[in-house]
């Protein structure tokens, strides 16, 4: 049966192939599960505290505000371009196909790295839940060789499962996503409430850097912002799933903003609760073992382990959601014939409504990245930071062209959604919000990628980890340029979908 949503897709030059079965909560779950408060806070809390001390909490509202500016711009675009491959599609239609292709290329490589980083988070939780999950060696700390290797093993096992789910059926994936997000929200609320009610100190402690900050207050906040920056990415996934969402012009803009807002609020409360309830701020445990240590030591083994089990569910669902988003990006770019093996990558199974080949590609490439953990424990941080930089840069490659389009008067703020209501619009606030979103995004990209030796190579001797993010980004762009040049020589010119459809 053809629906209004299907006709809306046809106006952009595409036919409906993915199964449209997601409602508003499923759309919210797509964005929230990519952000995954419990996954990312548990994964990077120890890092933020180690470099910033208690004051790193204040980087949280700053990053949330900056990302809300970006999300507001994305909400406008999701209402006007409800298409899979959101970043690629939006950038292509706002600028030109070449610039848009590089935005999509950087984004999809970044998403693959995020998949690997999310899978590594199991190491922060499973061994604390049960020592039997430490399959390699005896030391579970991810900064040790044993912990890093075990993280890779657990991550690969998780990727096998998420790849299978991403092949089976989008309804199965949606059910798992919704159940997982519900469990995560309940778990995050419980963790925040229990930690805050078990507080040992007052919130005033968050005004201190502690003994760990090595570069003063500013340095503590800049490096401490890594935690918040890693948590609050992926809200665009609600737009990524537009071709599978009912009434996407109305639904996606709202779920982009609500997913980020809910995650920002819950995550901030969990971080605050961890700082206030920690048994000690000076015994070194908080900077190594993170929130898992706080839960089990303050709430007791029973309650602590039950909440850690909920975190495991959140990590699994987050990995699944991120992999799904990467699959849709590959599918969208391949559908336009703009990737190697495009015909195979763009093929959708008519029974399941899922593009199977992208799921396998993302799973295999993410698992390959995990092998870096066998080389050095420093790979854990290098992988995590690289994925944030890639996504922040891809976001800026959307907000930048959008700002140019606004200033030239070429961005329409009118139109109606599927219900006849006006499309989401920033109105007269569009230019200032957009400009601040771009400045914030570029500044954070530089902050995250800056090759700080104390952060990326604390032991010394691994210069390539210190420069890993810059090198990886350079290699990504170079590989993309080689592919574009090869394609230009071997492919006869033909109109691309992004070129054929007016912005």
Spatial contact of 93 and 78, defined as CB atoms under 8 Å apart: no
Cα 361 to Cα 44, 432, 439: the distances in Å are: 27, 40, 34
For CA atoms 73, 401, 86, 107, the dihedral sign is: negative
Structure tokens at 91: 């950038």
In three-state secondary structure terms, 349 is strand
Asked whether the predicted pLDDT for residue 367 surpasses 80, the reply is yes
Average pLDDT over residues 161-190: 92
Q: To which H or E segment does residue 90 belong? A: helix 86-94
For 169-212, where are the alpha helices, taking DSSP H only? 170-197
Question: 95-132 pLDDT, tens per residue?
Answer: 999 999 999 999 999 999 999 999 999 998 999 889 89
Model pLDDT, residue 497: 43
| Region 169-183 average pLDDT | 90
How many whole angstroms separate alpha carbon 242 and alpha carbon 86?
8
Quote the CA–CA distance of 290 and 143 in Å, as a whole number.
12
Neighbouring C-beta atoms of residue 454, cutoff 10 Å: 12
Cα torsion angle, 441, 446, 449, 454, sign: negative
pLDDT of residue 43: 84
Residue-level pLDDT at 499? 42
- Phi, psi (rounded to 5 degrees) for 246: -70, 140
Q: What pLDDT, in 10s, does the model give residues 284-305?
A: 888 888 898 899 899 988 898 8
The answer on pLDDT for 414 being more than 90 is: no
Q: 245 and 26 in contact (C-beta within 8 Å)?
A: yes
The arithmetic mean of pLDDT across residues 14-34, rounded, is 93
The yes-or-no verdict on residue 3 having pLDDT over 80 is no
The closest alpha carbon to 50, from 292, 228, 288, belongs to 288
pLDDT for the residue 292? 85
Supply the DSSP symbol for 423: P
Tokens (6 digits) for 456? 């990326």
pLDDT at 494 over 80: no
Q: Could you tell me if 208 and 220 are in contact, meaning their C-beta atoms sit under 8 angstroms apart?
A: no
Identify whether the C-beta of residue 326 lies closer than 8 Å to the C-beta of residue 119: no
Residue 197, pLDDT > 60, answer yes
378 vs 346 pLDDT, higher one: 346
Tokens at 369, concatenated = 């990245």
Q: How many helices (H) and strands (E) does the chain have?
A: 22, 0
* Least confident interval from 211-215, 235-239, 273-277, 444-448: 211-215
* Alpha carbon distance 391, 5 (integer Å): 28
User: What's the pLDDT score for residue 189?
Assistant: 96
**Can you give the pLDDT at residue 327?**
96
The pLDDT of residue 456 is 81
- pLDDT interval class at 496 (50, 70, 90): very low
């Amino acid at each position: 049966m053809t629906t209004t949503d299907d006709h809306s897709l046809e106006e952009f030059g595409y036919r409906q192939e993915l199964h449209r079965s997601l409602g508003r909560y499923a759309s919210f779950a797509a964005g929230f599960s990519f952000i995954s408060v419990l996954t990312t806070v548990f994964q990077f809390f120890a890092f933020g505290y180690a470099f910033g001390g208690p004051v790193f909490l204040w980087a949280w509202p700053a990053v949330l505000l900056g990302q809300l500016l970006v999300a507001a711009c994305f909400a406008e675009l999701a209402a006007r371009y409800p298409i899979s491959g959101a970043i690629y599609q939006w950038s292509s239609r706002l600028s030109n196909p070449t610039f848009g292709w590089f935005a999509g290329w950087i984004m999809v490589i970044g998403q693959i790295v995020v998949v690997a980083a999310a899978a590594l988070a199991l190491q922060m939780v499973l061994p604390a839940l049960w020592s039997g999950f430490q399959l390699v060696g005896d030391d579970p700390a991810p900064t040790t060789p044993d912990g890093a290797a075990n993280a890779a093993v657990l991550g690969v096992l998780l990727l096998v499962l998420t790849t299978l789910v991403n092949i089976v059926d989008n309804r199965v994936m949606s059910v798992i996503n919704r159940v997982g997000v519900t469990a995560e929200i309940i778990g995050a609320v419980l963790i925040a409430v229990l930690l805050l009610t078990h507080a040992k100190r007052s919130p005033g402690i968050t005004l201190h850097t502690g003994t760990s900050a090595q570069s003063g207050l500013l340095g503590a906040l800049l490096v401490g912002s890594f935690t918040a920056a890693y948590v609050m990415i992926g809200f665009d996934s609600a737009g990524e799933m537009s071709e599978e969402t009912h009434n996407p012009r109305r639904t996606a803009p709202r779920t982009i903003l609500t997913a980020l807002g809910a995650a920002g609020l819950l995550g901030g409360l969990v971080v605050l609760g961890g700082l206030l309830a920690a048994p000690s701020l000076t015994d070194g445990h908080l900077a190594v073992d993170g929130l898992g240590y706080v839960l089990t030591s303050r709430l007791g083994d029973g309650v602590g382990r039950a909440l850690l089990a909920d975190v495991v569910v959140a990590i699994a669902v987050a990995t699944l959601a991120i992999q799904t988003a990467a699959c849709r990006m590959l599918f969208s770019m391949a559908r336009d014939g703009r990737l190697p093996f495009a015909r195979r990558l763009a093929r959708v199974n008519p029974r399941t409504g899922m593009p199977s080949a992208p799921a396998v590609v993302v799973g295999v490439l993410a698992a390959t990245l995990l092998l870096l953990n066998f080389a050095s424990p420093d790979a854990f941080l290098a992988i995590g930071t690289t994925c944030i930089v890639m996504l922040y840069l891809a976001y800026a490659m959307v907000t930048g062209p959008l700002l140019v389009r606004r200033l030239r008067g070429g961005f329409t703020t009118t139109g109606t959604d599927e219900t006849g209501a006006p499309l989401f619009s920033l109105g007269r606030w569009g230019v200032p919000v957009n400009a601040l979103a771009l400045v914030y995004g570029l500044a954070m990209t530089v902050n995250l990628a800056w090759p700080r030796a104390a952060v990326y190579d604390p032991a010394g001797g691994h210069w390539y980890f210190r420069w890993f993010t810059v090198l990886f980004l350079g290699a990504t762009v170079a590989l993309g340029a080689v592919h574009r040049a090869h394609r230009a020589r071997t492919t006869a010119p033909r109109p691309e979908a992004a070129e054929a459809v007016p912005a």
